[in-house]
Structure 1
């Protein structure tokens, strides 16, 4: 272990890190309402004296950007401070038991953000001439439309980004693509005791969804194309046959499947549905699509990963990141994103969301190792 890394690891304070994590979870910060948590983090980061600025996204919403070292960093630690809305506004706060921390955003991704902030505080204890050229970016809006990262990427695009989404500390150099499809069926409202005189929009929607599911598109391995009906709602007007049904579909695509291919096949399935389902009135829109990516494992961060994981007694296992994240935006802009963070994706967005203090501390040590190793490699090149 180099003297610099040993110094930084010794400067990582588990008690301070725990406090940061618990404080962050206790600050409610759903997308669009991130100001309180950014004010908290701004105060934390301002104390170390590295250049710190707000990047306005809209109104009272802003990213936080801080840098150290010489020149414009080509590596950024990136975390999003927003969460989905609370499942229970009275029970979103942090609870710790036997080293397990539960609460809204504990995995997605306040655990990763807290680890990155602690990494930053530890790196800042190095003499200025020994500090790596690295940036820390804390963005808003990831859970909605990625407007925080989009704003950052209009101004600069680092060569590498380490994004602390929950991967159970398994590095993800590959990332699934994502598509969002909205469907609307229209019917004819009638009293529910006389359904034969109306047209049930829900029944029409169910028939459409069955045809989509039977499409050849889904005959391949399930892990290649993940299909999820996220939400369905209908008109609520009392004791009647519903005359409208709205459905939102999520599709997660392995890196080798292109969104345009999926869209073409879905359009074929929808065309067939319009021809074969009696009385169908169907509208479809492809509201969002982003391709995945797969980075070469021969890259400047690999040597550091191969060194630090045995030191932490962690298995070095590579996984694809199956959800959508700002990693897609960074890749499209020309950056190379590594997704790596504490907590598991399985519990994210649920009432069982959790991470562990051990994983969050390990993440801080990994981020420090990557920052120092990459900067040294970058300077040699």
Structure 2
């Protein structure tokens, strides 16, 4: 891999030095406060590298999330343009299961090891390297490098961008690890909480209480019936699991065998296919649960455990899909994991997911990026930049 620099980018290091620095900056996002970090050092480091190349950088605080920031770095101007997007955060880690320091870029077996190497700090140095090739040229349309916060925990960075209506461009590639194969669709993720509250009492006389656990038993039957209906109605052969899934994940209720259960809580996971709307699915569930709770005299609570990620799909004949298929030699496919693509799509961007590394290494001890992915990634990104920014 060539680490040449132009005079205009003398302050921007080569790929390995950039990734070494990014890996060394902890930026874990987690719902557990003791794990959660600010991503500001990563955002400011990226801006520091991009500004000497001529990018105009804008660091945007994520509303309501102190220490969390998005970065929009723009080279050139115009109504269209290409966004190369990545998230700056990583998941937590178990250092006892790592063979090397997660925050030190370590090379062995023709791989770079470190927390975030493939998911997905490694994408930024490759995108910056690809951008070097057009520094000083007259861009017809802008190139935007977008860096987001909290993808691994809340998706609030991408959500804040969608609410702000930024960035404005025409095409977006999210560099999640797909082995450099274009991905044009993924399922959504919903995690929901259902609670029934009744009345405790001595189990010897059912009339003394109102059993929330029995209500939940009936509710689970209704959920499984809904699942069967959705799976009969919706199928998509692009996915390995071709139907929407609903998993009854965990249940908590009651406190003793000889007491009537006063409260029961169920958590479940729902993975909708493209074309299924999350608000409609939640309403369908509520429409089944409310009459059940009323008939049993139970108090009902139903709410998301988090806001959820909508399903995503870009049409097979979209221009970006065709260009990425031509550049990679791979037909666009579907994946099981979720990304920030729905929010970029909400901004009106034709969106695709494609980046170096394998999702199999993401969220794993000894996460790595194979060196064999570096040159092909830069070439593909250079091809995208030339196509959408120079022509």
- TM category (shorter chain) comes to 0.7 to 0.9
| Alpha-carbon distance, 1:302 to partner | 4.5
Kept after mapping to 2: 8 A contact 1:116/1:367? yes
| Paired position in structure 2 for 1:182 | 193
| Paired position in structure 1 for 2:301 | 283
| Paired position in structure 1 for 2:348 | 334
Are residue 151 (structure 1) and residue 160 (structure 2) matched?
yes
Specify the SS of the correspondent of 1:128. Answer: coil
Specify the SS of the correspondent of 1:288. Answer: coil
RMSD of the TM alignment (CA)? 4.0
> Aligned match of 2:94 in 88, 91, 96?
88
| Paired position in structure 1 for 2:285 | 266
| Alpha-carbon distance, 1:293 to partner | 4.0
> Aligned match of 1:301 in 317, 320, 326?
320
> Aligned match of 1:29 in 4, 8, 27?
27
Kept after mapping to 2: 8 A contact 1:185/1:204? yes
Unaligned runs of 5+ in 2: 6-12, 30-36, 236-240
User: Structure 2 matches for 1:41-190, cutoff 5 A?
Assistant: 41-58=46-63, 59-71=66-78, 74-84=81-91, 86-88=92-94, 91=98, 92-93=102-103, 94-120=105-131, 122-123=132-133, 126-129=135-138, 133-153=142-162, 154-156=164-166, 157-186=168-197
Specify the SS of the correspondent of 1:71. Answer: coil
- Structure 1: how far apart are the matches of 2:158 and 2:371? 27
- Structure 2: how far apart are the matches of 1:127 and 1:163? 25
Specify the SS of the correspondent of 1:87. Answer: coil
| Paired position in structure 2 for 1:357 | 371
| Alpha-carbon distance, 1:244 to partner | 5.2
| Alpha-carbon distance, 1:103 to partner | 4.1
| Alpha-carbon distance, 1:149 to partner | 2.6
Q: TM-score, normalising length from structure 1?
A: 0.75
Specify the SS of the correspondent of 2:356. Answer: coil
| Alpha-carbon distance, 1:40 to partner | 2.7
How many residues get paired?
Answer: 356
Kept after mapping to 1: 8 A contact 2:320/2:351? no
| Alpha-carbon distance, 1:373 to partner | 0.8
